[in-house]
Amino acid sequence: MKNTDMIAWFVDGQEGYTKDYWSTDNVAPIEDTISNLTDDRPHRYDAATKKMTFVTRRPLDTGDVAQDFLVPLNEELAMIYGHAEGSAAWRIHDEYGVWTLRLSEDGSVVEGALDLTELRRVDEYEQHGWWMWSAWYVVGLLLLVTKRYAKKTWSLSHYLHAILGYFTLLVTIVWASKVIEWRFDTPHYILGTITLFVTIVGALSGSYTAATMKIYNGDKDWAEKERIERIAKIHRMAGYFMLFIGNLTIMSGCFHYFGDVLKGDKRKILGAVSMISFCFLVILFETIYRLRNKFSLGHLKTPKVTDGGKVKTFTPAEVDT
Ligand code: HEM
Ligand code: HEM
């Protein structure tokens, strides 16, 4: 947790102890130089339920501005709890939750009115989501357009496709490595990790395709030409697979963020909207492309034989008119 005052209760067998922490980042926190906590002793261990009860006190204003949050009265306070089982050492929590409270001079504590969904939001995850969505939805569509539909400007589209491909690769590596912990217990973690590796291989196959095209100058023998076409086909298929799995990963990322992190937020549906609209746009582009190809040949008319039924040779200019 960033900039958070923490109290940690540890249970080790039938022993219990309390520690004062100040956390500055999403890593194991630093123990306060001066602990301002006092426990009502002894901790009560209930052998029947295997639970230990702690009662811990601290002054609202500890005077330690460097490592304690000085608790104000009559203000809404954001609170968070988390717990982990199986080890008395620091590690990421199994479960966590947020709540809010307000304290007053007479010692009463009432539930606060802060918006819990707002408290659960995580900046870093949202940035991860927006970057990935831009790279795979927006740039993903451009990758398709530059190679499949914008063929009139072949050279420009070719270089644009390569630059956009490297951009998507870079964004995927940078924003995946910011959150990756090699977990596989949620569909998004599995898909995210697969997309990361598929993108690296896919972008390499694109680079290889572009390089072989450059080396090939049209005068090679058929076997060589076929080899280059095979490489291009592999990247083409990898490209479509990447676009599909990348957008599936976006959907699972939205489900995970809105469903699990924001605990059942209705905006979870945005994941499905993104996936369906992406597929719809691809189908739309393809339909327009095919219809245009079909009807753009309509102006070519088969010339009629007019030379008294005899065989006549047409010049290219005559055919074009
Ligand atoms: C193609 C797009 C995406 C890729 C490749 C991707 C990749 C990843 C990877 C590799 C992880 C870490 C998995 C692990 O620890 O093993 C991850 C975590 C996560 N991703 Fe994505 N992601 C994508 C899109 C999204 C989107 C659109 C969202 C929506 C907000 C999102 C939200 C999250 C969240 C909340 C986590 C968990 C972070 C944590 O618990 O530390 N991702 N993603
Ligand atoms: C995330 C990265 C990438 C994706 C998703 C992607 C996607 C695609 C797709 C879908 C096609 C086929 C379009 C069609 O139907 O004709 C394609 C073709 C192509 N891509 Fe990529 N690409 C990526 C990266 C790259 C890179 C980095 C390069 C080169 C440096 C590259 C070079 C090419 C070339 C030369 C073709 C044409 C192959 C042919 O002749 O059929 N791509 N790409």
> Could you report the per-residue pLDDT of 152-184, keeping only the tens digit for each?
898 999 999 999 999 999 999 999 999 999 999
Selection from 201, 133, 116 nearest residue 171 by Cα: 133
Name the token pair of 105: 């001079």
156 and 27 assigned to the same domain: no
Is residue 319 one of the residues assigned to a domain?
no
Q: Is residue 314, in this structure, part of any structural domain at all?
A: no
Indicate whether 130 and 74 sit together in one domain.
no
Q: How far is the CA of 47 from the centre of ligand 1 (A)?
A: 41
- Is position 218 within any domain? yes
Question: What spacing in Å lies between the alpha carbon of 157 and ligand 1's midpoint?
Answer: 30
**Same domain, yes or no: 111 and 131:** no
Residue with CA at minimum distance from ligand 1 atom 38 = 179
* For the CA of 126, the nearest ligand: 1
More confident residue, 42 or 91: 91
Q: Does the C-beta of 254 come closer than 6 Å to ligand 2?
A: no
> In terms of domains, do 52 and 136 share one?
no
Q: Is 179 in the pocket of ligand 1 (CB under 6 A)?
A: yes
Residue after which a domain boundary falls, among 91, 119, 147: 119
Same-domain status, 114 and 162: no
Cα of 201 vs centre of ligand 1, distance in Å, is 19
Dist. CA 292 → ligand 2 center (Å): 22
pLDDT at residue 309 in the model: 62
In this prediction, residue 241 carries a pLDDT of: 98
State the distance from the centre of ligand 2 to the C-alpha of 250, rounded, in angstroms. Answer: 20
What pLDDT is stored for residue 26 in this prediction?
Answer: 77
Q: For residue 146, what are the CA distances in angstroms to 15, 88, 162? A: 65, 55, 9
* 3 vs 276 pLDDT, higher one: 276
Checking if the pLDDT of 252 tops 90, the result is yes
CB of 196 sitting under 6 A from ligand 1:
yes
Distance (Å, rounded) from C-alpha 96 to C-alpha 80?
Answer: 7
For ligand 2, what atom is nearest to the CA of residue 239? 7
Place of tokens 């979870």: 268
Q: Rounded to the nearest whole angstrom, what is the distance from the C-alpha of residue 163 to the centroid of ligand 2?
A: 11
Is 196's pLDDT higher than 70? yes
Is 299 inside any structural domain? Answer: no
Among 10-14, 109-113, 206-210, whose mean pLDDT is lowest?
A: 10-14
Does some domain include residue 54? Answer: yes
CB half-sphere exposure, 30, CA atoms < 13 A: 11
Name the closest-CA residue to atom 39, ligand 2: 232
Containing domain of residue 42, as a range? 4-119
Q: Which of 89, 119, 149 is the last residue of a domain?
A: 119
| Nearest alpha-carbon partner for 58 in 90, 30, 22, 20 | 20
| Mean pLDDT confidence for 20-34 | 88
Reading across the β-sheet that carries 95-103, which strands appear in turn?
77-83, 95-103, 109-111
Confidence of residue 213 (pLDDT cuts 50, 70, 90): confident
Higher pLDDT, 300 or 170: 170
Q: What is the mean pLDDT of residues 249-262?
A: 97
Pair (77, 169) in one structural domain: no
Which residue's CA is the closest to the ligand 2 atom numbered 42? 206
For position 17, what pLDDT does the model report?
87
Whether the per-residue pLDDT at 287 is higher than 90: the answer is yes
Query: Could you tell me the distance, in angstroms and rounded to a whole number, from the CA of residue 161 to the centre of ligand 2?
Result: 7
> Domain with 207 in it: what CATH number?
1.20.120.1770
Does a structural domain hold residue 40? yes
Q: Is the CB of 253 under 6 A from ligand 1?
A: yes
d(C-alpha 228, C-alpha 224), whole Å: 6
Domain boundary among 119, 150, 170: 119
Question: What pLDDT, on the 0 to 100 scale, is given for residue 11?
Answer: 87
Cβ of 270 closer than 6 Å to ligand 1, yes or no, is: no
* 249 shares a domain with 127: yes
Pocket of ligand 2 contains residue 245 by CB under 6 Å:
no
Question: What residue owns the CA closest to ligand 2's atom 3?
Answer: 165
pLDDT at position 141, please?
Answer: 98
Domains held by the chain: number: 2
Residues 127 and 240 reside in one and the same domain = yes
* Domain annotation covers residue 320: no
Per-residue DSSP letter, 321: -
Asked if the structure places residue 318 within a domain, the reply is: no
**Is the domain of 61 the same as that of 174?**
no
More confident residue, 84 or 1: 84
Q: Do 212 and 71 share a domain, yes or no?
A: no
Give the mean pLDDT of 256-265: 96
Residue recorded with tokens 């306070």: 77
